[in-house]
Structure 1
Amino acid sequence: MGIFRRSPGTPSPNAAIARFWEWWPEARERLDDNVPEAIAEQISAHVEAMHPDLEWEIGPGPSLTVSGGGVGELRGIAERWFRAAPDDGWQYRPARTADPAMLEGKLQLEDHEFDLSYVRMGLRADARRARVDITAYHPDFLFVPEETQLALTYRVLDWALGEDDVARWTGDVTVVTEEPMDALPPSMLSAVVEQVAAPFGDPAWLTGEGRTPLGHAARVAVRFPLHRQDHPLCDLYVAVALPYANANPDRLPVEPSASALRDFEKSIEAMGERVLLAAHESGDGRRVFHLYVDPESGAVAELDQLAAGWSEGRAKVSSQPDPAWEVLEPYQP
Structure 2
Amino acid sequence: MIFRRRRKDDPVAAIDAFWAWWATARPRAERQITGDADDRLIAEIGALVSAIHPELEWEFTAGTASRHLLVVSACGDPALRSLAERWRRAGPAPDETFGYASARQGSPDALDGGHLSIAGHELDLDELRFSAEPDEERDCVHVEVWHPAFPSMPDGARNQVAFLSLDWLLGEDGVEIWVGGIEAITTPGATLTGPELAALVAALDPADGEPRWRAMSGTVDGHPVVAIAQSPLRPARWPGHDLHVRLEVPYHRRDGNGLPTKEALADLHALEDHISVHADGAVVVAHETSDGLRTTHLYADRPAAAHALEPLISSWPDGRVRLTVTPDPAWEQIAHLNP
Query: Common fold, TM-score beyond 0.5?
Result: yes
Equivalent in the alignment of 1:91: 99
Superposition pairs of residues 1-333 of structure 1, within 5 angstroms: 7-8=6-7, 10-31=8-29, 32=31, 33-34=34-35, 35-60=37-62, 61-87=67-93, 89-103=97-111, 104-109=113-118, 112-179=121-188, 181-198=189-206, 201-213=209-221, 215-254=222-261, 256-272=263-279, 274-296=281-303, 298-333=304-339
In structure 2, C-alpha distance between the alignment counterparts of 1:304 and 1:313, rounded to whole Å: 14
Q: Which whole-Å deviations, capped at 9, do the CAs of 1:102-145 have from their partners, x for residues lacking one?
A: 30311234654422122122222223322111111223334443
Give the deviation of 1:301 after TM superposition.
1.4
In structure 2, C-alpha distance between the alignment counterparts of 1:37 and 1:317, rounded to whole Å: 50
Cα 1:160/1:40, change in 2 over 3 Å: same
Aligned residue type for 1:294: D
In structure 2, C-alpha distance between the alignment counterparts of 1:309 and 1:108, rounded to whole Å: 64
Cα 1:102/1:266, change in 2 over 3 Å: closer
Aligned residue type for 1:240: L
Cα 1:197/1:184, change in 2 over 3 Å: same
Aligned residue type for 1:310: W
Q: Is 1:268–1:275's contact at 8 Å kept on the other side of the alignment? A: no
Q: Which whole-Å deviations, capped at 9, do the CAs of 1:268-287 have from their partners, x for residues lacking one?
A: 20234511211111111111
In structure 1, C-alpha distance between the alignment counterparts of 2:157 and 2:280, rounded to whole Å: 39
Q: Is 1:125–1:196's contact at 8 Å kept on the other side of the alignment? A: no
Equivalent residue pairs, number: 325
Q: TM (normalized to structure 1)?
A: 0.88
Q: TM (normalized to structure 2)?
A: 0.87
Q: Is 1:212–1:284's contact at 8 Å kept on the other side of the alignment? A: no
Cα 1:100/1:285, change in 2 over 3 Å: closer
Q: Is 2:106–2:169's contact at 8 Å kept on the other side of the alignment? A: yes
Cα 1:201/1:128, change in 2 over 3 Å: farther
Cα 1:143/1:131, change in 2 over 3 Å: same
Q: Is 2:123–2:149's contact at 8 Å kept on the other side of the alignment? A: yes
Cα 1:263/1:58, change in 2 over 3 Å: same
Percent identical among aligned pairs is: 35
Q: Which whole-Å deviations, capped at 9, do the CAs of 1:197-254 have from their partners, x for residues lacking one?
A: 34784212222333231x2332212222333222112101121111112112222112
Aligned residue type for 1:98: G
In structure 1, C-alpha distance between the alignment counterparts of 2:185 and 2:271, rounded to whole Å: 50
Q: Is 2:139–2:231's contact at 8 Å kept on the other side of the alignment? A: no
